[in-house]
Amino acid sequence: MTYPFKFTHAGEPTLTLGRGREWGPLAAREIHATPGRYPGTVMTDHRVVFYLTPSVPTDCVCEGVGHWRIGQPSDFDLVPGGADGFWEDHIACDMVSVRLAPSLIASTADALGLPADRANLVPKIGARDPLVEHVVHALLAELRAPAPAGRIYADSLATALTTRLLQSFAPVGAAGCQTLSKPQLRRLVEFVEANLDGDLGLEPLADVAGMSVPHLTTLFRRTMGQSVHAYVMERRVERARALLLERKASISAVALETGFAHQSHLARWMRRLLGVTPSEVLKA
């Protein structure tokens, strides 16, 4: 069934809601978005926004975490409950929005035996995960099926999805341990984005966060689930991919513009993180 409701104002972008279904604490809906900037509605539920349209230039920010990229099918944004932000698509696109109730996250975390501080999710923009992709496509097939499967099938998909999200995108650290504050994380993310082409060191980042280098490395890993270096390299690779897809600069120029020592350095990291080389990105 199609729900042709629209959120629209004169001169503003439009969201068209398509087929949607709800299975208790899990819900999914198809969405068509016209180009433009959308404020991120703060919701209690956690959301996985999964792009279906290829090569969508998009800006997305969630709690200070975000970047500009060329979105591809299988890319998704993870927006935790209560998070604030915005997104802007530069061409019309289709997506699937999957909502997960806090009760589902809590019950899954309890079943996994996770400590209280890990029974939550952190923002992730432009993420990729084969199991998440599989589950979202299964939910999309359910939306489009004339005779959908029973509740037990949806429950199994909900369990698989929440388990994967908690394993990959939950805060890292023991219960009660300190993490970076939202303002500190926002400042760090903005500083990294503004200086990807330079020689980013730990000392300037520690100054931005207002703490020592050892303190920064500990709290960053605990908050983001990865080291500062891993995060910076991930952002450099994503920026390089976006620039390559614009096809306005050579691979060597893109490498230098995103902070890599040379073209081979970029190729090594892009193969490691994305499974493709810069040349393969250009041929896609």
Which pLDDT score, from 0 to 100, does residue 255 have?
93
Which pLDDT score, from 0 to 100, does residue 177 have?
60
**Position 176 pLDDT exceeds 60:** no
In a domain, 122, yes or no: yes
Instruction: Please check whether residues 132 and 187 belong to one and the same domain.
Output: no
Which pLDDT score, from 0 to 100, does residue 275 have?
86
pLDDT-derived band at 10, boundaries 50, 70, 90: very low
Question: What is the pLDDT of the chain when averaged over all its residues?
Answer: 85
Q: Which of these three, 148, 169, 190, is where a domain ends?
A: 169
Domain count across the chain: 2
Cα 39 to Cα 87: distance, rounded to the nearest angstrom = 7
Full domain range(s) for residue 220: 182-283
Instruction: Please check whether residues 156 and 24 belong to one and the same domain.
Output: yes
Helices (H), the chain: 102-112, 130-144, 151-169, 182-194, 202-209, 213-224, 228-246, 251-257, 263-274, 278-283
Mean pLDDT confidence for 40-56: 90
In a domain, 174, yes or no: no
Cα 250 to Cα 258: distance, rounded to the nearest angstrom = 12
Mean pLDDT confidence for 223-232: 85
In a domain, 1, yes or no: no
pLDDT-derived band at 175, boundaries 50, 70, 90: very low
Q: Which of these three, 114, 144, 169, is where a domain ends?
A: 169
Instruction: Please check whether residues 21 and 142 belong to one and the same domain.
Output: yes
pLDDT tens string 187-205 = 999 999 999 988 888 889 9
Full-model pTM = 0.64
Q: Do 148 and 199 meet the contact criterion of CB atoms below 8 Å apart?
A: no
Instruction: Please check whether residues 36 and 163 belong to one and the same domain.
Output: yes
In sequence order, the β-bridge partners of residue 275 are none
pLDDT-wise least confident of 65-74, 79-88, 93-102, 207-216: 65-74
Instruction: Please check whether residues 130 and 229 belong to one and the same domain.
Output: no
Mean pLDDT confidence for 66-70: 75
In a domain, 98, yes or no: yes
Query: What is the rounded (10 degree) CA torsion for 142, 145, 151, 153?
Result: -60
Task: Return the biggest CA–CA distance within the chain.
Answer: 58
Which pLDDT score, from 0 to 100, does residue 4 have?
32
Instruction: Please check whether residues 123 and 51 belong to one and the same domain.
Output: yes
Instruction: Please check whether residues 153 and 277 belong to one and the same domain.
Output: no
Q: Which of these three, 169, 200, 234, is where a domain ends?
A: 169
**Position 224 pLDDT exceeds 80:** yes
DSSP string, 41-73: ---SSEEEEEE-SSSEEEEEEETTEEEEEEE-T
In a domain, 25, yes or no: yes
pLDDT-derived band at 173, boundaries 50, 70, 90: low
Instruction: Please check whether residues 237 and 269 belong to one and the same domain.
Output: yes
Instruction: Please check whether residues 158 and 75 belong to one and the same domain.
Output: yes
Instruction: Please check whether residues 241 and 130 belong to one and the same domain.
Output: no
Which pLDDT score, from 0 to 100, does residue 118 have?
75
**Position 36 pLDDT exceeds 70:** yes
Q: 246, 240, 233, 217: which is closest to 272 by C-alpha?
A: 233
Mean pLDDT confidence for 151-174: 82
Mean pLDDT confidence for 69-81: 86
Q: Do 227 and 220 meet the contact criterion of CB atoms below 8 Å apart?
A: yes
Name the pairing type of β-strands 6-7 and 76-79.
unpaired
Write the CATH number for 264.
1.10.10.60
In a domain, 177, yes or no: no
Cα 163 to Cα 169: distance, rounded to the nearest angstrom = 10
Percent over 90 (pLDDT), the chain = 40
In a domain, 77, yes or no: yes
Instruction: Please check whether residues 95 and 208 belong to one and the same domain.
Output: no
pLDDT tens string 139-158 = 999 999 887 777 788 888 99
Q: Do 218 and 46 meet the contact criterion of CB atoms below 8 Å apart?
A: no
Write the CATH number for 142.
2.60.120.10
pLDDT-wise least confident of 132-141, 181-190, 221-230: 221-230
Instruction: Please check whether residues 260 and 150 belong to one and the same domain.
Output: no
CA distances from 266 to 164, 228, 243 (A): 29, 18, 13
